[in-house]
Amino acid sequence: MTRISLTDRFWQLAVGRSLLPGLLVSLLAIAGCSGSRLGDTLGRSLEPDPQLAENEQTTDSPDEPADRAQPESPATDETAAAERNSASGNSAAERNRQARAEAEAAAGSNAATAGDYKDLSKAPEEIQPYLKDLISLDLLKVSPTAPDPTPTALGTQPAPLPSPDEFRPNQAISRREYARWLMATNNRLYADQRSRKVRPGIASSQPVFQDVPASDPDFGAIQGLAEAGIIPSPLTGSSTALTFRPNAPLTRKDLVLWKVPLDTRQPLPQATPAAVQEAWGFQDAAKIEPRALQAILADYQNGDFANIRRAFGYTTLFQPDKAATRAEAAAILWRFGNSTEGITAEEVRNPAAKSQADETDSSTGSSPNSSAGARQND
């Protein structure tokens, strides 16, 4: 009889009774025993690939570079959205002010000079020489203006910024523009007389007017004139001048009121509508505000050098609330001083001519202002 080994019999029973799965588990258990050849072989085959392990450690290292791209956090998007919503919550007035300030600052260096304008001939003929003198001195700078939400009594608004070769002399001048011209012209004509110059406002000062912050491009001129008491403001005791309305058209009454104190350099005289009507013959003297009446009466005392005569010629109506034009403002600014002494833009532009005129005046015994008066009355 054939002898069957115990091992062969074991395999037959295992296969016959479907013990193969259990057998495999047993083999694995045996292979895992320490010192077993089969266990060592299986252990080596199951060890991880060193290269793969190294790559995995490099990828998951906590010391990865700080500039490695990271997915954007949802919180960042929410923060940005919140900031945008906050910005959109600013008032419309603030946004308009910022836009205007940026536009004016951007165009400030593009102001035209004397030879660039092609429309000066549209100004009244007798005013054209004043315009040319002042523009030659680069004193009438034009910059963008935005419409003011509060119109004048006539409902007029400053026109948009002209092209570089247009001065638009018959356009209504804005309050900010006249303040800028007034400060610049006074300080240029009196460049060698420091006591007569008006100092610009400084950014660290508390703004006098609510609508002219330190960031406004014309803050220096407007603030400086207010602090000097030249224009009505809370500093002068005016309870109605809390705002300046820089882009509103300048009225005739303010055209004269702001300028005359720089001519007389002394307190304005008391005045009544009757006194102004008697002096100037203005039929509408009763419509003029008290402070403007004082300036108009003081201007009359300048005789032929009166600002009103240069700007408006002969008239029996002052029309205090009518918008003043750029040409009229130039005529007002062409000369500073009273009836006995003064200085003109022509004299500053051509000092040699002034010296010659002074010599002629001294030899004939005439007034030092006779030459200027002749030019004014041409």
Q: What is the pLDDT of residues 6-50, one digit of tens each?
A: 555 544 554 455 444 554 445 444 445 445 554 555 455 545 555
- The residue-averaged pLDDT of 213-238 equals 95
CB-based contacts of 279: which residues, under 8 Å, 6+ apart? 297, 300
Query: Is the pLDDT confidence value at 55 over 80?
Result: no
36: its two tokens = 């077993």
Question: Distances from the Cα of 53 to the Cαs of 56, 288, 314, in angstroms?
Answer: 5, 95, 102
Region 320-331: mean pLDDT is 98
Report d(CA 137, CA 245) in Å as an integer.
Answer: 28
The token pair that represents 270 in the structure block: 């008391």
Q: For position 244, what pLDDT does the model report?
A: 96
Distance in angstroms (rounded) separating the CA atoms of residues 64 and 49 = 23
- Comparing 160 with 65, the larger pLDDT belongs to 160
Burial of 70 (0-12, 13-18, 19+ CB in 10 A): exposed
| Whether residue 109 has pLDDT greater than 70 | no
Are the CB atoms for 293 and 272 separated by under 8 Å? yes
- Spatial separation of the C-alpha atoms in residues 117 and 144, rounded to whole Å: 16
Lowest mean pLDDT among 99-103, 124-128, 239-243: 99-103
Question: For residue range 336-375, what is the model confidence (pLDDT) as tens digits?
Answer: 999 999 999 999 999 886 666 566 555 555 555 554 555 5
**Cα separation of 31 and 166, whole Å?**
101
The pLDDT assigned to 241 comes to: 81
Q: What is the mean pLDDT of the chain?
A: 77
Dihedral sign (CA 174, 179, 182, 188) = negative
Q: What pLDDT was estimated at residue 82?
A: 47
Burial 78-113 (b: 16+ CB within 10 A, else e): eeeeeeeeeeeeeeeeeeebeebbebbeeeeeeebe
Is pLDDT above 60 for 99?
no
* The pLDDT value given to residue 44: 56
Res. 200: pLDDT tops 60: yes
Express as a percent the part of the chain with pLDDT over 90: 53
pLDDT digits (tens, 9 = 90+) for 283-311: 999 999 999 999 999 999 999 999 999 99
| Residue 335: strand pairing partners | 344
Highest mean pLDDT among 55-59, 104-108, 308-312: 308-312
Query: Which range, 61-75, 82-96, 317-331, 348-362, is most confident?
Result: 317-331
Euclidean distance between CA atoms 46 and 30, whole angstroms? 16
Residue spans of the domains in the chain: they are 99-376
pLDDT in tens, 231-263: 999 999 987 788 999 999 999 999 999 999 999
Q: Is the pTM of this model over 0.75?
A: no
Assess whether pLDDT exceeds 80 at residue 68: no
